[in-house]
Structure 1
Amino acid sequence: MIKRVMSLIAALGVVVATFVFLPASTASAATCAPAWSSSAVYWGGGAASYNGHNWSARWWTQNERPGTAEVWADQGACGTGGTDPGTPNPSGFVVSEAQFNQMFPSRNSFYTYSGLTAALSAYPGFANTGSDTVKKQEAAAFLANVSHETGGLVHIVEQNTANYPHYCDTSQSYGCPAGQAAYYGRGPIQLSWNFNYKAAGDALGIDLLGNPWQVEQNASVAWKTGLWYWNTQSGPGTMTPHNAMVNGAGFGETIRSINGSLECNGGNPAQVQSRIDKYKAFVQILGTTPGSNLSC
C-alpha cells in the first residue's frame, strides 16, 4: 500500500523526501547546543548546554552557571550536554577573577583582584573553612559588606572630610603620631580611628599607626585591613563576622559586627536591606544559597 501511494505522488510531480523509519526505541533527544563556558559572553537568546540540558539566556550573562541563575531558561533535555566547570582559579579562592569583576563592574582600579588574593595569606581560614557552600557564603558575605561600605569598591577613602579630625582618641598612650586628622576611613572596610590602625598594624606586622596612608596606597595592605577586621573584630556585635558565617549564625550577625549599633534592631532598616540584597546577588553569582538569619 505504501509503495502504491508513493508511486502516485511521484506521478503527480511532487518532490518527495526520502524517509528512514526507525524503531521508537532508537529515537534520540534534542541536539545539544555548544557546552556552556564560564568565560564566554552570552547575549539574550544565546544557547548553551549544561548537565544534559539546553539553556537559553534571557539577557546578557557571563560566568552565571545554568541552573543556578534566573538568567537561564531551561529548554529541556539534550543527551549528555556540557559540564564545563570553568577556568581553574590558581589562587584557590572560591571567587574567580571573572566573578569578582561581575560583582564590581564599576570598581576603582585600586581594588585589584590580585591585591585581594595576595592578602588571603594573612588569614588562611577566611573563605576556606567548612563546606564549599559555607566557603562561598563567607566570601559573598565579606564582599557584600565591602561593597556596601565603599559604594561598590569605588571609594578608597571616607568621603566626608569633616569627620577626619574626629578619629584621634588622645586617651591612648601612643596618641596620633601621624597627625590628628590622619586616621579617617580607608580601604574596603573603611578602617578608622587611631586605635584600629594600631591594632591592625600590630596584627599584620605593618606600621599603620605611623603611616596610615599605606591603606590607600597599597591594594594588598588595604585588603588585609579588611580581612583583619572580618576575622578578628566583633565591633558592636558578639562575634567576628568570620565566626558568624562559619558557625551558622548567619549574614545578619556580620552586619551587627560591622555597624550594628547604627543599623540593627530597627536603627536603619534600609541600610540593612541594602547589605542583604547585595549578599543575595553575590551568592547567586557564586552558585550557592544565602542560608538563614539574613537580617539583624
Structure 2
Amino acid sequence: MTAEGTLISEEEFVAAVTSAGYPTPTTSQYQGMCAAAPAGDVSSRKDLAQFLAQILWESDGLRSKEEYLAANDPAAVATAYAGPDDNGKVFYGRGYIQLAWADNYRAASQDIFGDDRLYRTPEVVAEDEYTAWAVSFWYWRARVAIAAGYGEGFGFTTKAINGALECSGDSTKAERRYKTYTKVAAALGETPLGPEGCYS
C-alpha cells in the first residue's frame, strides 16, 4: 500500500477516522500510514478496516502515539513495565498500536530496520510518524494476523491485542471496539465481520 497504489485514498482515510467519532487526521498521518504499510502485509480493504479500527481505538483516534499514563504518572508506568531486560529504558505503549515491552521493541526493530535502534531509543516510536505506523503494521502482521480465528470475526483481533483484559468478564471496551470497527468498515464500503472471537 503506497500513496500511488493504495488500498485507501486520503479522503476515505479521513472518512474512516471521522465516522468513528474522532477528529480529522492530518495528511502526514495518511502519508505515514501509506509509507509504513509494507511492514504489515495488509492486502485487502476488509483487513484494512479491522486494522484501522484497532489502531483508532489504541491511539485515541490517532491523537496519541504515547500511552497517556506515561505523561500522567511516569513512576507508575516505570513500575508497570519494569523488567530484567529494560536497557535503562521504559518500554511502555508507544506508536499507534501502543507497542509495549522490551521484547516487542527489539523484535519490531530487527524486522523493520535490521538492527536494534528501537530497543536502544524507544522514544522514536512516539516521535516519528513513519515509525509509529511501521511498528503498528509490524505488530499486526507478527502478532494479530497470525492469531487463531483471524478473519472469522473481529473479536479475534481484539483478543490478540488485549484479550486478557477485554475478552473475559466486563466486555464493555471490546464491544466499543467492535462498534468503532463497524463504522470504519462502513466508511470503506466493506461488510463488517461479526463480533465473534472475544466476548461473543
Q: Which amino acid aligns with 1:269?
A: S
**1:226 matched to which residue of 2?**
136
Equivalent position to 1:198, from 91, 106, 130: 106
Structure 2 counterpart SS, 1:121: helix
Q: Which amino acid aligns with 2:108?
A: A
Equivalent position to 2:121, from 211, 235, 242: 211
Find out whether 1:98 has 2:4 as its counterpart. no
Kindly tell me the number of residue pairs found equivalent between the two proteins. Answer: 186
Q: What's the CA shift for 1:109?
A: 4.6
Structure 1 counterpart SS, 2:120: coil
Find out whether 1:253 has 2:156 as its counterpart. yes
Cα 1:285/1:110, change in 2 over 3 Å: closer
CA distance in 2, matches of 1:169, 1:146: 26
Q: TM-score, normalised by structure 1?
A: 0.58
1:107-186 alignment to 2 at 5 Å? 109=26, 112-123=29-40, 125-126=41-42, 128=43, 135-161=44-70, 162=73, 163-165=76-78, 166-170=80-84, 175-177=85-87, 179-180=88-89, 182-186=90-94
CA distance in 1, matches of 2:27, 2:69: 20
CA distance in 2, matches of 1:107, 1:152: 9
Matched-pair contact (CA < 8 Å) for 1:108–1:155: no
Matched-pair contact (CA < 8 Å) for 1:138–1:242: no
Cα 1:110/1:287, change in 2 over 3 Å: closer
Q: TM-score, normalised by structure 2?
A: 0.83
CA distance in 1, matches of 2:28, 2:93: 15
Cα 1:241/1:141, change in 2 over 3 Å: farther
Q: What's the CA shift for 1:240?
A: 2.8
1:50-69 alignment to 2 at 5 Å? none
Moved over 6 A (4+): none
Kindly indicate which of the two structures has a greater share of residues assigned to helix: 2
Unaligned runs of 5+ in 1: 1-88, 129-134
Unaligned runs of 5+ in 2: none
Matched-pair contact (CA < 8 Å) for 2:16–2:188: no
Kindly indicate which of the two structures has a greater share of residues assigned to strand: 1
CA distance in 2, matches of 1:243, 1:200: 23
Q: What's the CA shift for 1:204?
A: 1.0
Q: Which amino acid aligns with 1:275?
A: R
Q: Pairwise CA RMSD of aligned residues?
A: 2.3
Structure 2 counterpart SS, 1:99: helix
CA distance in 1, matches of 2:147, 2:49: 12
Q: Which amino acid aligns with 2:15?
A: Q
Per-residue Cα deviation, 1:62-111 (whole angstroms, up to 9, x for no partner): xxxxxxxxxxxxxxxxxxxxxxxxxxx85322221111112234156596
Matched-pair contact (CA < 8 Å) for 2:149–2:197: no
Identity of aligned residues (%): 31
Find out whether 1:285 has 2:195 as its counterpart. no
CA distance in 2, matches of 1:278, 1:101: 14
Matched-pair contact (CA < 8 Å) for 1:276–1:294: no
CA distance in 1, matches of 2:28, 2:183: 20
CA distance in 1, matches of 2:119, 2:27: 22
Rg larger for = 1
Q: What's the CA shift for 1:156?
A: 1.5
Cα 1:187/1:295, change in 2 over 3 Å: same
Per-residue Cα deviation, 1:28-77 (whole angstroms, up to 9, x for no partner): xxxxxxxxxxxxxxxxxxxxxxxxxxxxxxxxxxxxxxxxxxxxxxxxxx
Per-residue Cα deviation, 1:260-296 (whole angstroms, up to 9, x for no partner): 111013x331101111111100111111201334451
CA distance in 1, matches of 2:67, 2:28: 15
